[in-house]
Amino acid sequence: MVRLKWEIKWNTTQLGKTNDFVMIDGIKYFNRDYLNMEYLKENDHHTEDDKDQINYYDIVIGDEVYENGAWYYTDYKTHARDFSNFVGFGEDVELSV
């Protein structure tokens, strides 16, 4: 099986490119190790769902800011995998193969 690499972009800037992702509740979460983390600035916004606490990043490129444009679960694990190293993105972020 060939897994295509997903390109993650916001405002034409590449935030990452990887085939290492998971699906959680219909949303793709990408492995943080393959993201350009210099564009993701952790903020103080937090929410919680039935899985865990969710922490948010602002996406910052130059003077442009997408508030809460990315997020991750603080400590969400299942018997099969630890998801705390995976980042989801808001609808304004372009995902393409």
CATH class of 6-96: mainly beta
Its pTM surpasses 0.85: yes
Position 69 scores a pLDDT of 98
| Amino acid residing at 21 | F
Provide mean pLDDT across the span 37-51: 96
Name the DSSP class of 97.
-
Per-residue pLDDT tens digits for 57-90: 999 999 999 999 999 998 888 877 889 999 999 9
Position 70 scores a pLDDT of 98
Strands 94-96, 6-10: parallel, antiparallel or unpaired by DSSP?
A: antiparallel
Sheet of strand 13-18, all strands in order from the earlier edge strand to the far edge: 13-18, 6-10, 94-96
Specify the length of the chain in residues.
97
